[in-house]
Amino acid sequence: MKGFYVLSAIAFLLASLASCLEFDLAAMPDVNGARRCLSQWLPMGTHVKMTAKVLPGFPGQTINMEIHDDSPHLNQYGARKNLDEVVLRFDTQAHANVIVCFQNALDQGYSQDGRTLTIQFKMESGAMAEDLHKVQNELKLKPMEVELRRLSMSLDDIQDELQYLKQREGTLRDSNEKMNSKVKTFSFFSIGFLVVVAVYEVVYLRRFFQQKKLI
């Protein structure tokens, strides 16, 4: 019974993370159209399902969308002009933030009067993005078995992410230790240099005063 409550809590948490986001985006001229970007960090090789829908509104507005990441390669995952409703699936190419940007461009001939469009957005990743209905039909699984399989895949995703974070922590720790070693070496060098300069100053002043017969 305790295990059932744990699985239920995990399922509720995953469902909350995959909830749909709804927001309004004001229309502005295409040159400087209003943009809103949403991002989520995902490890490399993660399967992603992204759903976007534009609700009906006042005419004269065009929603454009583009998806990319912030890795050094700036991988592009998709773009849509004059968006109405779309479902996109892709696999991430790098450990990076996946960024989805929406732009509401005001069509020519329309004045900027504060009109907006409502966008419904949902991004699922890992096990939540997998289509298990096909597997359920092929293997004739019960709904509980499907959820257990989804939870198992989710736990695998979490384990992979923790492993990546552990590796990254090790890399950062090694970099930090190297930097500390360089700082320590530089500190010893600075102290030694200051000691040499101080000794030189003392010797120079002593010789100067002896030449002037002050001591």
Q: How is 89-121 classified by DSSP, letter by letter? A: EEE--SSEEEEEEEEEEEPTT------EEEEEE
Does 44 have pLDDT greater than 90?
no
Q: Are 182 and 159 in contact (CB under 8 A)?
A: no
- Percentage, residues of the chain above pLDDT 90: 37
pLDDT of residue 155: 80
pTM assigned to the model: 0.63
At residue 168, what are phi and psi to the nearest 5 degrees? -65, -40
